[in-house]
Structure 1
């Protein structure tokens, strides 16, 4: 059985819009409308942008910028992330086992940035 699209009414900057969407998409559409409405209201309140069209474009640019930042943050190569997680897991296992002795000091290899002790401001997972 094929579902008929819903006609959903959303409100953005006090103007109503009727949008067709599938039943399973309605919550995301409502959330998107609330996000857009909130961003547009913030921009309008600054008083620096006049006109609904310009406010909408500025809100869309801000949301697109946020999306790109999230995508960029997630674009860590999977192999690098897997390798880094394995290294961290090994450190945790050694710490839990009480294994703090990495061998004689005169045989210790110089630490590379990936092997250095955890430094919260530098660590990214």
Structure 2
């Protein structure tokens, strides 16, 4: 495991990073740093630990909102032919299959 040095709110941290994950970790550090600096710069909270907790809560809330929006968005489905009586049943089966695929692997619903 590789170690990289990063800066969050002007303080250095040495973080362990899995091989191939440096770009993703640096992006996460940028998000955390931006969220913490925004709270600090608002001037209402001074303690670093409180700033970190508020930034964490804000980031977690944003992530939950994004996940909820992704679950609520309808999955694109190719148009099925509309001729014949069995087409409605086939289309319904296709929609159910797409929904099952979209929800596969989720342990919970938001």
What are the ranges of 5 or more consecutive residues in structure 1 without an aligned counterpart?
Answer: 91-125
- Provide TM-score, normalisation by structure 1: 0.59
Provide the rounded CA distance (Å) in 1 between the counterparts of 2:19 and 2:9.
24
Which residue of the partner structure matches residue 59 of structure 1?
55
Structure 2 residue 37 is matched with structure 1 residue 41: yes
User: Structure 1 residue 18: deviation in Å?
Assistant: 0.6
- 1:75 equivalent among 45, 53, 71: 71
Alignment root-mean-square deviation, CA: 1.8
Secondary structure (helix, strand or coil) at the match of 1:9 reads: strand
User: Structure 1 residue 41: deviation in Å?
Assistant: 0.5
Secondary structure (helix, strand or coil) at the match of 2:46 reads: coil
Superposed, which structure 2 residues align to 1:8-47 within 5 Å?
8-47=4-43
Which residue of the partner structure matches residue 120 of structure 1?
none
Which residue of the partner structure matches residue 106 of structure 1?
none
Secondary structure (helix, strand or coil) at the match of 2:45 reads: coil
Provide the rounded CA distance (Å) in 1 between the counterparts of 2:36 and 2:8.
8
Secondary structure (helix, strand or coil) at the match of 1:32 reads: helix
Greater C-alpha Rg: 1
What are the ranges of 5 or more consecutive residues in structure 2 without an aligned counterpart?
Answer: 81-110
Provide the rounded CA distance (Å) in 2 between the counterparts of 1:50 and 1:73.
33
Give the ranges of 4+ consecutive aligned residues of structure 1 lying more than 3 Å apart after TM superposition.
none
Provide the rounded CA distance (Å) in 1 between the counterparts of 2:13 and 2:47.
18
